[in-house]
Structure 1
């Protein structure tokens, strides 16, 4: 005969111990002591989750038949949310990163400090979630060292959107940095964003953007305060999705005597009513790209993310979409580097599309022998006969490609080639590489390219400056593409 505890688990699904003892008391008249004894003596069909994720190491029970069910994980996540567990906050934040994140960026969304007395550290959060079977850590061929969800039942796993989200978020961060500069929220030349080498710490907490701030409400005597922000390109955030950020901000405020007062901002596509209420109560800023940059830019950012998910197809089929994105997103001051880079890759893919059987954008090459990785901006395939990899160097009007840029590209060519020839169909193919720029080559860079072009026979190289790229567009009668090249890359606005 099944026990009362087992009947509760049958009816309500996997549950935390306090919920079960509450039902034993209210529905079956069992006192506290005997209710706890019933749980401690539970055996057979009743199991206890082996890794404690709930506060105060509260137990979570389930039946053997529920071990591999979606209900186990959804109920557990609900319990983590109800109890304010840091592990639940990290899981919800992982969800908003698509269930995949570089290991070095996990501290941003863990909701935990690097090291703080009486607090679970971000490394402990990762280790515990791995032990619980929620996450796994591994070296992905295209992404490097990452954390990935093992539980798609509770995290929306979306690896295909990883690169597009990363780029869209970098563009938002570029724009947010300029916004913070103009508003005086951060020290002009000391604003650091994701992707840069400088640490992005305020106290023991990591953010996507950090800056020392000299706004008077944040100052502590002569000591500066801080402005810090996290950015997400997609998703409407509910009260669960923002908990990691509220937790991080609250702990930062509690330790502000050591680190200084901080003004924190979370940027996302949108927020639900309960999320906005919780954010205001916590004293953090919840912003959208629309509130920061205007509705036109916000719409263009969403379009950019969708475009990058299928970059090659859109580059080949819809050049007007490329130029429209460039016009709309050019309103984000400071975004020129990341934005112009990806737009020039799309333009290059469009211009060479008819020279082969297929074209891809944003390929991560990895040498199977050395493990080295490098990005091929555009890869043009001509059946089994030939493969060409294009390096795209977008430059502002008057910009140049340096000898250091050329040396860096030449160093990566062996990795590109090793990645291509590992495919059997390309073993006999003619493999070549080209360096395209919208600017010009500095004299020493041009001299080296000319010399290397003459000496490389096994793996030929070529190069084109902005004028040569424009000539290709003119010859192909691609007026919209050539207009975009002139307006955004070739002709200085004061010329």
Structure 2
């Protein structure tokens, strides 16, 4: 409880004078601790027993005390709780409700640092290098439970939904077509920002109700801003950080009018009423995209979280792709995420009796972490570590990714296998699978590394190999899904047509170049690239 509340209990129940009660609370006692770096009004502190730290009771009382004082930390922790108490750090800076920088307001960075110093949240690094914010009581179970898989599934679904919201806003003319940004944009230097706040999506709007005019009659745009959380039903308490951000933004005199939207799967009646009363659009996936897409997004989260059910039912991939096919860019977004499940199903049919594991997190004795995309253990024979790269059918895996796999991930996995009771005596095989291809340089690096040791096997599997394995599985659903979305994808045909048009243009340019010569003289022969092959004369 708050130290001020504890002092009042001493006054009323134990007849201690007010000044003495405050001193006694200030001195504390054995086993009693004060929460650091989080200060309440009138210099009150949150006090607790060490034995209660991180318990459900601890957080229940802490959140009640923070809510009572309308603390910024309350809104930030509620935003974290809405996303199952784990999210990427960059996303937390958007969702916490604090500005990037503003007078008389704690910044998002400072708020995050104080929560970290107070040990209310922890920073956890992914093997890929991304840093996540996790509530302190969830840290120990984060990497070993379905919590990580649930977060990754939510982020993929939100990425697809943001693509749809972006297209929806551009097609309706709510935003300037080429100026709208989302947190998922590849060429983004910083998160989308309007005023002093960052958003999951933002763009200028020149619609008549949104725009205004300066003193010299220059048009001043308004803005369309949007945040998203596809984590089930949203409550009024969980949405409080977004509401606080919207209200604060409107108080900034130099920022134009803003149309503010929050996207969720569904809302409680209280949350829906709160957003409407504050002039915010409470959008749901069903109201924006229709029932089919909303169900597909929800199924995507469930399927990616429960990998075992996906391996039993590969047809779920086809349903998800079909449901989200109307969203531009969804196929390329999902391709990389779902390719590893395709590989896992192929491996399952290739090695009967083996149960492949997807997204296994491991650490070696030095504390270095790695993620195994697909793990296969063949009893008394070998252990197979598969790295999956779902790239464009005509694309190739970046050389840097291959180098990272060879120089960072394989050494960590070698060390893990060396000390693993079930793997230490098995032959090790490391494979990198791609739905596209590999550069000659990458293949030479893999071959060179293989020559350095005969204790383990390193192989690269390209699109042709994967396709042949899919067809050998004799699973009609898997074959149809893979060929439609990984082989015969519309973008593949588009790229082939572009390549053909490019070659034709080059030939036309070459012909035009040589036709500019004098008509009296014989034109020079065409370049070797365009000349017909000659047949050698018989001796």
Same fold (TM over 0.5): yes
8 A Cα contact 1:435 1:462, kept in partner? yes
Residues 447, 143 of structure 1: alpha-carbon distance in 2 compared, 3 angstrom cutoff? closer
The CA distance in 1 between the partners of 2:388 and 2:51, in whole Å, is 52
Aligned counterparts of 1:460 and 1:51: Cα–Cα separation in 2: 51
Partner of residue 409, structure 1: 401
Residue 178 of structure 1: aligned partner: 167
Counterpart mapping for 1:13-412 below 5 A:
14=1, 17=4, 40-43=22-25, 49-51=34-36, 53=38, 56-57=41-42, 59=44, 68=53, 70-139=56-125, 141=127, 144-151=130-137, 158-195=147-184, 196=186, 197-200=188-191, 201-221=193-213, 222-255=219-252, 257-311=253-307, 313-356=308-351, 357-363=354-360, 377-383=373-379, 385-395=382-392, 399-402=393-396, 405-412=397-404
CA distance in 2, matches of 1:137, 1:37: 40
2-side partners of 1:336 and 1:189: how far apart?
21
Is contact 2:202–2:223 with CA below 8 Å preserved after alignment?
Answer: yes
Change in 2 beyond 3 A, CA 1:36/1:115: farther
Q: Give SS of 2:119's match.
A: coil
The alpha carbon displacement at 1:20 in A equals 8.5
Query: Which has more radius of gyration?
Result: 2
Corresponding residue SS for 2:319: helix
**What is aligned with 2:514?**
none
In structure 1, the partner of 2:434 is: 436
Count of residues in Structure 1 that have an aligned counterpart in Structure 2: 461
Contact preservation (8 Å) 1:351, 1:472: yes
* 8 Å CA contact 1:45, 1:63 repeated in 2: no
The CA deviation at 1:387 is: 1.7
Task: Identify if the C-alpha distance between structure 1 residues 15 and 56 changes in structure 2 by more than 3 Å, giving closer, same or farther.
Answer: closer
> 1:367 and 1:66, CA in 2 relative to 1: closer, same or farther beyond 3 A?
closer
CA 1:432/1:151 → structure 2, altered by over 3 Å: closer, same or farther? closer
C-alpha displacement at 1:60, in angstroms? Answer: 5.2
For residues 460 and 268 of structure 1, do their structure 2 counterparts lie closer, same or farther at Cα, with a shift above 3 Å needed? same
Residue of structure 2 in register with 1:9 after alignment? none
Q: TM-score, normalised by structure 2?
A: 0.74
The answer for the alignment partner of 2:537 in structure 1 is none
CA distance in 2, matches of 1:48, 1:463: 57
Q: Which blocks of at least 5 consecutive residues in structure 1 are unaligned?
A: 1-13
Classify the secondary structure of the residue corresponding to 2:174: coil
Structure 1 distance, partners of 2:370, 2:490, is 34
Q: Deviations over 1:428-487 (max 9, x none)?
A: 6332323321x5x5xxx554466556554445323322x543332222211111111233
In 1: Cα distance, 2:287 partner to 2:5 partner: 43
* Separation in 1, partners of 2:439, 2:33: 68
Q: C-alpha deviations, 1:95-130, integer Å up to 9, x for none?
A: 112222222332112111111001111122223323
How far apart are the structure 1 equivalents of 2:157 and 2:331? Answer: 12
Query: Shift of residue 344 of structure 1?
Result: 2.6
Tell me how far apart the structure 2 counterparts of residues 21 and 370 of structure 1 sit (CA, whole Å): 48
The separation in 2 between residues aligned to 1:21 and 1:369, in whole angstroms, is 50
Question: What is the rounded CA distance, in whole Å, between the counterparts of 2:102 and 2:40 in structure 1?
Answer: 17
Q: Secondary structure at the match of 1:226?
A: strand
Question: Residue 368 of structure 1 contacts residue 418 of structure 1 at CA under 8 Å; is this kept in 2?
Answer: no
Compared CA separation, residues 435 and 293, structure 1 to 2 (3 A): same
Deviations 1:74-109 (A, max 9, x none): 133123223321110011111112222222332112
SS of equivalent to 2:230 = coil
Deviations 1:271-326 (A, max 9, x none): 11111111111111211111111122212222211211232x23431111222222
* Partner SS, residue 234 of structure 1: strand
Structure 2 portions without partners, runs of 5+: 214-218, 494-539
CA-atom RMSD, angstroms? Answer: 3.7
Deviation by residue 1:122-169 (Cα, 9 ceiling, x = unmatched): 12222332343322235455664332212469x999445222222222
Other structure's SS at 1:232 match: strand
SS at the partner of 2:295?
Answer: helix
| Structure 1 residues 83 and 462, CA gap change in structure 2 (3 angstroms) | same
Distance 1:451 1:172 in 2: 40
Question: Structure 1 residues 410 and 427, CA, compared in 2 at 3 Å: closer, same or farther?
Answer: farther
Secondary structure at 1:146's aligned position in 2?
strand
Deviation at 1:375, TM superposition (A): 5.9
TM-score (norm 1): 0.80
- Residue of structure 1 equivalent to 2:482: 485
CA–CA separation in structure 1 for the residues paired with 2:251 and 2:9:
34
